[in-house]
A and B are shown apart, each in its own frame.
Chain A
C-alpha cells in the first residue's frame, strides 16, 4: 500500500479524536478520544517503520532498520497504560468530590 493512504488514515483518526475533545463534555469520553489520538500516531509509526524497512531491504537482506520504531510504539503503549490508570483514578476522585463528570464544571481547579 502507498504510504499516503496510511498517513491520511492516521490523520483522519487523529482529527476525529481532536473533534471529540473539543465537542464532548463528558470527561471520560474526552479521555477516550485522547487514547484514540495516541493509537492513530502508533499506526503511523508502524507504517513508517515498514516503509523504511522496505527501502533498506533492497540493498541488504538482513537489515533490521525499523525495529527501533516498533519498540518506540511498544514504549508508547507502556506509558499510555500507566497514564490511563492515574487519569482514571483522578476522574474517580473528582467524581467522588463533585458528583459530576462535566468538563465545564471541572474547569475550576480550586474548591
Chain B
C-alpha cells in the first residue's frame, strides 16, 4: 500500500467520521467545528488530486469565511447549549432509514455501472489544477461569468444587509 493510498483512506475516514459527528453532536458549536474538520479533509483530497487552487480556495472560503459566519451567528443567538427540541424517535428512524436506502441504491448502481469500470482518477500528476492554467482559462473564456458573479456578490451583500437590518 503506497503512501498515496494510505493518505486517501485516512482522509476518507476523517471526512466520513466528521460528517457523522456533525449530525450526532448536540451542541451546534461542536457541529460547526466538526464541519470544519470535514472541509479540511476535502481540501486534503483536492491536494491529493493536484487541484491546488481549489484546495486553497476551499480552505479560505469554506473553512475560513463561511464557518466563521456560522460560528458568529450561533454565538449571536446564544445557541451554544443543548436546548434543541428533539424530533420523536420514529421520525428520526424514518429519516435515517430513507437516507440509508438512498445510499444503498446509489452504491449498488455505481457498482453495476460498466462505463466507469477501470477508470482511474490521476493523482499527484497533471497540471490542470494549478493556478496558472485555471487563471488563464478563467480570464479568457469565463470572464463574463466572473464579472456577473461580482454583481451577484454585490446583490447578496445588499440583500443580507436589508434583511438583517432592524426595522
Contacts and interface: CB of A to CB of B under 8 A. Distances in A.
Contacts, number: 235
Main secondary structure of the interface of B (DSSP, over half): helix
B23 A19 contact: yes
A54 to B, nearest CB: 4
Interface residues of B, number: 82
A89 to B, nearest CB: 4
Contact of A66 (B65, B128, B166): B128
Contact of A28 (B28, B103, B166): B28
A1 B16 contact: no
Given A1-B121, A9-B15, A25 B8 contact: no
A interface SS class: helix
Q: Interface residues of A toward B: which range?
A: 35 or more
Contacts of B53: 70, 74
A3 interface: yes
Contacts of A6: 121
Interface in B82-128: 84-87, 91-92, 94-96, 98-100, 102-103, 106-107, 110-111, 116, 118-123, 126, 128
B122 A51 contact: yes
B38 A77 contact: no
A21 to B, nearest CB: 8
Given A26-B84, A39-B39, A93 B163 contact: yes
A83 to B, nearest CB: 8
Interface of A: 1-9, 11-13, 15-20, 22-26, 28-29, 31-33, 35-36, 39, 42-43, 46-51, 53-55, 57, 64-68, 70-71, 73-75, 77-86, 88-93, 95-96, 101-102, 104
